């Protein structure tokens, strides 16, 4: 059910989220950083349910970046195992909710083959679903995506390059640009996330650490989005 304070005619089609603050949330409570990631999973699926509830069509999250390999080896291994377990444990539930699962990012030698297999299985299981498209950016970097797109264009032998040429060679050309990008934890930067796609996205920065972020916070971010005047380089509607 859409809250009364939201305009149902202007629900963002695509929301993307940088889920930041898991480690700091745990440290504030004297817990291991890994426990913050576990708490963050609960928030993630509460927010996903909220997105489904109000009719969002695409919801994309930044789960593991190309820069995350620089973290301590134990934390990297935890994140790999943790994301694999989320896929295993949640794919049937999401499939029953008519959610289509997609993954965005490099599936190169750095990513264990077993995880790539899990990704492919989840995508295959849910490919015919018609509800929310839940995209997980895993081993993803915005610059890497642009570089990979340009390399594909070069390899194809195309002589004249336009924006459309690049767009057709991004990781998922079907994915619309985000209308709204949310980052939690009080940090005000995009951190190499969807650099090409967020050219005209509205950015909302929340002070809330990700494990404390709920669907209510999602709805508040959407309210802020609806209160803005999106110009797309023009003069706006007022």
> How far apart (Å, rounded) are the C-alpha atoms in residues 169 and 190?
22
**Do 53 and 216 meet the contact criterion of CB atoms below 8 Å apart?**
no
Question: What would the two tokens of residue 29 be?
Answer: 């409570």
> How far apart (Å, rounded) are the C-alpha atoms in residues 14 and 59?
6
Q: Is 172 a catalytic residue?
A: no
> How far apart (Å, rounded) are the C-alpha atoms in residues 1 and 8?
10
Name every residue whose Cβ is closer than 8 Å to that of residue 191 and which is 6 or more positions away in sequence: 18, 20, 62, 65, 67, 183
Cross-strand bridge partners of residue 203: 181
Identified catalytic residue from 4, 7, 20, 92:
20
Q: Is 20 a catalytic residue?
A: yes
Identified catalytic residue from 4, 7, 68, 177:
68
User: Can you tell me whether residue 34 is helix, strand or coil?
Assistant: helix
Residue positions annotated with a catalytic role: 20, 68
């Amino acid at each position: 059910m859409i809250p009364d304070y939201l305009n149902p005619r202007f629900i963002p089609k695509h929301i993307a989220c940088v889920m930041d603050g898991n480690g700091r949330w745990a440290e504030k409570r004297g817990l291991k950083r890994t426990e913050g990631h576990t708490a963050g999973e609960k928030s993630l699926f509460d927010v996903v349910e909220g997105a489904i509830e109000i009719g969002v069509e695409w919801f994309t999250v930044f789960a593991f970046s190309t820069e995350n390999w620089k973290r301590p080896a134990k934390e990297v291994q935890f994140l790999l195992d943790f994301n694999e377990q989320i896929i295993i444990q949640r794919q049937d539930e999401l499939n029953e909710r008519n959610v289509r699962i997609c993954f965005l990012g490099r599936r190169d030698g750095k990513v264990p083959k077993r995880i790539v297999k899990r990704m492919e299985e989840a995508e295959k299981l849910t490919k015919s679903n018609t509800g929310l498209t839940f995209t997980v950016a895993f081993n993803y970097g915005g610059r890497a995506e642009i570089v990979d797109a340009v390399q594909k264009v070069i390899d194809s032998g195309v002589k004249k390059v336009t924006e459309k040429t690049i767009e057709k060679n991004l990781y998922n050309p079907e994915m619309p640009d985000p209308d709204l990008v949310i980052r939690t934890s009080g940090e005000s930067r995009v951190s190499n996330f969807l650099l090409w796609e967020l050219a005209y996205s509205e950015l909302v920065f929340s002070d809330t650490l990700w494990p404390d972020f709920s669907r209510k916070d999602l709805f508040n971010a959407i309210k802020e989005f609806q209160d803005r005047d999106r110009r797309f380089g023009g003069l706006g509607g007022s």
